Structure 1
Amino acid sequence: MKLKIFSPAKLNLFLSITGRRSDGYHELETLFQLLNVGDEILFEYEESKVITEKPKIELFFSKKTHHHKFTRNITLHPKEDNLIIKAADLLYEFAVERNLKRKFTDISILLDKKMPLGAGLGAGSSNAASTLIALNQIWQLYLPVDILAKIAVNLGADVPIFIINRSAFATGVGDVITPVDLNERWYLLIFPNKSIPTQALFQSNLLKRDYPKKTWHEWLHSPYFNVFTPVASKLFNEVQEAIDWLTNYSEPFMSGTGSTVFAIFEDHEQALNIQKKVPSMWWSIVAKGVNSNQLLY
């Protein structure tokens, strides 16, 4: 049997830090915009081979060869620190601990990687969420969305947004989610071939952590900004270079902790025309902002 799932990318249209908790986590306010572009993940399994022990998970992926070409070569992915494997393990442990009715089977997973990692697009988080959604169905756990989202937050603060599959305003550590309807506009995304370690930005002394809190209504009447942009552009020249280039054509923004910068367009053709001018050394794509995606197909 085969199950294919779309693993969408996201943008943070704004991102503010309003404080830091005693446990070290940061209080955020952000607007997640889902996109109609992302990775694809294929799950293969034998429905008749139900097992009682822990399932074997094999993960393969289409290997990226350089900044904007991906081969179709299937390469075994190292399992350590991989969110797909962690998601599968977490769901298995949840089901066993609660003695849920289930039909565990071994799974072979092929990740068709189209989005760059370390780019502020939520690629790894989306892959983890997609794995939870797919295995919830394959293993016949039938957990509701709210339970899957609670499991997902253990994998990362922005993983639940992909479980809920809605563009949303998020607060807390990114886990208090309010779905919102956004205008479906077009975005030009530029990845300047620099993966940024999130931890480096959160630990930076340059990071401002005390912006005043705003309601969603207040944000609707406020200019958008990303608290990480001045830090990322200071620490990584590639980000500043992309921002400087995009400034010639439109107002630039940065997504998440970077390094993807983007511009917003009402017109698809205008976004495509500017994409044609993007320096060939950078990865770029034009994507449509959506309020939700069809995931399983």
Structure 2
Amino acid sequence: MTPEANTLPWPAPAKLNLMLRVLGRRPDGYHRLQTVFQFIDCGDRLWFTPRDDGAIHRLVDIPGVSESADLTVRAARALQVHGGGRCGADIRLEKTLPMGGGLGGGSSDAATTLVALNRLWGLNLPEDELAALALPLGADVPVFVRGRAAWGEGVGEQLTPVDLPEPWYLVLIPAGQVATAAVFADPQLTRDSVPVKLADFLAGDRRNDCLGGVRRGYPEVAAALDWLEAVGGGQLTGTGGCVFAVFADRDAALAARERVPAQFGSFVARGLNRSPLLDRLAGSPT
């Protein structure tokens, strides 16, 4: 292993859900969905130092998240057990993405852990096997493992790669976190949407069935959406609470950001059909 294996960061990019339809509830309580995932060019970063004693440690605490509940640690331990190896790792996470924002930060961190340690531990498990290992960690983890913008069905794990425009996004971060479980437990949630085709999405169907419940339960998210609608439209990613607007170019997105009220965090990012994690993997030292 070269020294660069320990010093170069592994990216954990954010995602946006560009639409979200709830088709029904499965016997196990999970909801059947249709969604579209696209990555954006911002996210967390991770560093991994392999160990030969089998220990797995995180080096940076996350407020409110114990080490045993941390998805990066859980992902590393799941891979360790599955691979039957004795390797361990020290994991350092530089957290940029907000928790509870619908940007997939924890899921992306878990996926990056699986992909990076699969390489650094020399397991060389195929992508399909890693994606199957990822699913118990969270429904969004497989799309980050596969690293391609996708049309998602099932609970979001049945993925078909799609080639989408890569516009610029203005993303607003309202205060607080949205509880995904509470959104899906909302008795007013639409659970019987009619399935659509990818062509419907491409023609402009960007419906998010969780929008109404999030608007009712989270006034700060509703205020962010109202502001975005005044500057050209706003959408909720997943169950939120981050919301976004689409712009044709970076300058237009930056100009809109200059007018964002101080009560909201915000950033501008480019849409990506290929995750930077795949580029890091392709160029990673061994």
TM-score by length of structure 1 reads 0.88
Counterparts of 2:56 and 2:19, CA distance in 1: 37
Q: Specify the alignment match of 1:173 in structure 2.
A: 155
Counterparts of 1:9 and 1:219, CA distance in 2: 21
What are the equivalent positions in structure 2 for 1:281-296 lying under 5 Å apart?
A: 281-295=263-277, 296=280
CA contact (8 A) 1:62 1:113 kept: no
Counterparts of 1:80 and 1:18, CA distance in 2: 33
Quote the offset at 1:248 in angstroms.
1.3
Q: SS of the counterpart of 1:58?
A: strand
2:40 counterpart of 1:44: no
Counterparts of 1:190 and 1:176, CA distance in 2: 28
Counterparts of 2:272 and 2:212, CA distance in 1: 28
Residue type matched to 1:57 in 2? I
CA contact (8 A) 1:17 1:209 kept: yes
Summarize the Cα distance change of 1:272–1:282 in structure 2 as closer, same or farther, 3 Å threshold.
same
Q: Specify the alignment match of 1:59 in structure 2.
A: 58
Residue type matched to 1:138 in 2? L
Counterparts of 2:88 and 2:221, CA distance in 1: 42
Quote the offset at 1:217 in angstroms.
2.2
Quote the offset at 1:108 in angstroms.
1.3
What are the equivalent positions in structure 2 for 1:252-291 lying under 5 Å apart?
A: 252-291=234-273
CA contact (8 A) 2:80 2:87 kept: no
Quote the offset at 1:215 in angstroms.
1.9
Residue type matched to 2:251 in 1? E
Correspondent of 2:19 among 14, 17, 21: 14
CA contact (8 A) 2:102 2:241 kept: yes
Q: Specify the alignment match of 1:184 in structure 2.
A: 166
Moved more, 211-220 or 32-41: 211-220
Q: Specify the alignment match of 1:94 in structure 2.
A: 82
CA contact (8 A) 2:183 2:213 kept: yes
RMSD: 1.7
Quote the offset at 1:105 in angstroms.
3.1
Structure 1, unmatched stretches of 5+, are 65-75, 97-101
Q: SS of the counterpart of 1:181?
A: coil
Aligned residue-pair number: 274
CA contact (8 A) 1:129 1:159 kept: yes
Counterparts of 1:173 and 1:287, CA distance in 2: 26
2:31 counterpart of 1:26: yes
Residue type matched to 1:133 in 2? V
Counterparts of 1:62 and 1:9, CA distance in 2: 20
Q: Specify the alignment match of 2:109 in structure 1.
A: 127
Quote the offset at 1:106 in angstroms.
3.1
CA contact (8 A) 2:13 2:276 kept: no
Runs of 4+ in 1 over 6 A off after TM superposition: none
Summarize the Cα distance change of 1:166–1:277 in structure 2 as closer, same or farther, 3 Å threshold.
same
Residue type matched to 1:27 in 2? R
Residue type matched to 1:31 in 2? V
Residue type matched to 2:66 in 1? P
Residue type matched to 1:294 in 2? P
Q: SS of the counterpart of 2:159?
A: strand
2:121 counterpart of 1:139: yes
TM-superposition CA deviations, 1:222-275 (whole Å, max 9, x none): 421111111001011111110111111011100011000100000110100111
Q: Which has the higher helix share?
A: 2
CA contact (8 A) 1:13 1:31 kept: yes
Q: Specify the alignment match of 1:67 in structure 2.
A: none
Counterparts of 2:272 and 2:88, CA distance in 1: 34
What are the equivalent positions in structure 2 for 1:73-222 lying under 5 Å apart?
A: 78-96=66-84, 102=85, 104-222=86-204
Counterparts of 1:106 and 1:90, CA distance in 2: 12
Q: SS of the counterpart of 2:60?
A: strand
